[in-house]
Amino acid sequence: MAAPLPVAVVGASGYTGAELLRLLFGHPHCDVTGLYARKSAGRAIDEVFRQFVGLSSQTVEAFDADAVANRAQVAFCALPHGHSATVVAALRERGLLVVDLSADFRLRDADEYAKWYGSNERPTHPAPHLLEGAVYGLPERYRAQIADSKLIASPGCYPTSAILAIAPLIDRGLVATTGLVVDAKSGASGAGRSPALAVHLPEAGEGVRAYKVAGAHRHTAEIEQELGAAAGGTDVRLTFTPHLLPMSRGILSCVYAAPTDSSLSVDDYRAALVDAYDDEPFVAVLPAGTSPDTAHVRTSNMAHVSVAYDERAGRVLAMSAIDNLVKGAAGQAIQSMNVAMGWDERAGLRGVAAFP
């Protein structure tokens, strides 16, 4: 058996970092040799996250590119967008394979990035020279490119769920690319670990609300980019509505689209999903007539997808359920690493959803 691959997690003190550790600790080919985070530097990981008590008390360190390079061959960066690009650049310079879980390399166009993510202090992309070599880390769409890349921009949680649901229908020209509506529902872990009124248990524990509606959520750009690519390069403008739900994990996306050919039936739409995902290890097309439930993918890297057709109203409804922290973040990043390393894509990701 080959020696395990040394990997580092940069940004180990957030939920995505913790999830990377949960999965990497069980990965058959990896050895986590370094944990990095700013605010938690100097603390043991089992103090930062109590679930590791008795399992690991590795010390979290302040990031240092040379130290990471000395110790690891692959780095997962789970840092806030804007901050990530510099770290990624430093690690790429030192030759590491980098899987970046921030938004910094997801948009192929630096101008688009500036429009959505620019700020007064950082108006333009921090490392535009790396954009061309970056690949959008959705293996179901870019497996070959991921296999050849050294910089994998792992997709956002909402985009993963939306794209997996509807892209096969766009690929095949079955639905229109205008008028798309993505209504997505997320658990609160997507908001991160910093306490805030919006995810304070008494405020959010028994209600639901939409937020950043009408184009205000930055994941809109990413969804549009990928669905535009699916449509062969068309510009896509869609409406994306994220919601916060009283649960920790999971995203359910409902994508509403107009059919391009009104003579088609739900079987035709479902056949497109089956065709797209038949060989995919992490996407299951549900039986006809059933709808996905986030509870059934909780803690796993699986995406459940289905499609319905409202004949009366002439509307296709494509749905998907994922765990936002797994297929929507850490699991997918590891899946991409597996692809890039030429391993079985399922390595370290075979965990069945913990239901109930």
Residue positions annotated with a catalytic role: 157
**Parallel, antiparallel, or unpaired for β 315-322 and 303-310?**
antiparallel
Give the three-state DSSP class for 346: coil
- Measure the CA–CA gap between 16 and 18, rounded to whole angstroms: 5
Going edge to edge, which strands form the sheet with 60-61?
A: 60-61, 30-36, 5-10, 74-77, 97-100, 151-153, 134-136
Binders of a second copy among 193-252, rule CB under 8 A? 193, 195-197, 199-211, 213-215, 220, 237-239, 241, 243, 245-250, 252
Instruction: Please select the residue that binds a second copy; options are 97, 153, 286, 333, rule is CB under 8 A.
Output: 286
Instruction: Please select the residue that binds a second copy; options are 258, 271, 341, 347, rule is CB under 8 A.
Output: 258
- Measure the CA–CA gap between 35 and 62, rounded to whole angstroms: 8
CB atoms within 10 A of CB 47: 14
Binders of a second copy among 89-118, rule CB under 8 A? none
Interface map 157-186 toward a second copy (x if CB under 8 A): ----------------------xxx-x-x-
Instruction: Please select the residue that binds a second copy; options are 295, 341, 343, 347, rule is CB under 8 A.
Output: 295
In the complex, what is the shortest distance from the CB of residue 269 to a second copy, in angstroms, rounded to a whole number? 11
Residues with Cβ < 8 Å from 155, sequence gap 6 or more?
106, 136, 137, 138, 163, 222, 226, 328, 332
Between 59 and 355, name the residue whose CB sits nearer to a second copy: 355
Instruction: Please select the residue that binds a second copy; options are 40, 299, 335, 338, rule is CB under 8 A.
Output: 299
Binders of a second copy among 2-61, rule CB under 8 A? 15, 18-19, 21-22, 25-26, 47, 49-55
In the complex, what is the shortest distance from the CB of residue 261 to a second copy, in angstroms, rounded to a whole number? 17
Instruction: Please select the residue that binds a second copy; options are 96, 254, 272, 337, rule is CB under 8 A.
Output: 254
In the complex, what is the shortest distance from the CB of residue 221 to a second copy, in angstroms, rounded to a whole number? 10
Instruction: Please select the residue that binds a second copy; options are 64, 148, 275, 310, rule is CB under 8 A.
Output: 310
Planar angle of CA 7, 8, 9, nearest 5 degrees: 130
Burial class (CB in 10 A: 0-12, 13-18, 19+), 73: middle
In the complex, what is the shortest distance from the CB of residue 111 to a second copy, in angstroms, rounded to a whole number? 16
Specify whether the CB–CB gap between 223 and 185 falls below 8 A: no
Structure tokens at 54: 């008795």
Binders of a second copy among 320-339, rule CB under 8 A? 321
In the complex, what is the shortest distance from the CB of residue 94 to a second copy, in angstroms, rounded to a whole number? 29
The per-residue DSSP string of 38-59 comes to STTTTSBHHHHSGGGTTT--PB
